[in-house]
Amino acid sequence: MHEYTGQPFNDLLKENNLVLVQYYADWCNPCQMLKPILEELSTELTNIKFYRVDIEEYRDLAVNANVQSIPTVVLFKDGEEVGREKGFKPKHLMETWIKKTI
């Protein structure tokens, strides 16, 4: 799982067929609970690039993505949003959602 560091977001989406983005904040407990689940899934679902975007640091990305609550997880395929989940989900539900969405 990669931490977003300010590279052009559209380039990141164009360079990878499948991208999963977790929008989070350090003070958000459900976000912190979701982090190890997504890290584990990133090692299992290697065809997907996993990124975390800190909404405090990259507020413009969160606004552009219409993130209204955190954690929000957005799945992109070929640069287009194909799915979105809000709130904490256990691993089996997150994995099922990802596989069903792609």
Q: Which residues participate in catalysis according to the annotation?
A: 28, 31
Q: Which residues have CB under 8 Å from 67's CB, separation 6+?
A: 23, 55
Q: Do the beta carbons of residue 83 and residue 75 sit within 8 Å?
A: yes
Element (H, E) at 99: helix 91-101
Distance between CA 20 and CA 84 in Å, rounded? 10
The token duo for 25 is 């904040």
- Residue showing tokens 């990305």: 61
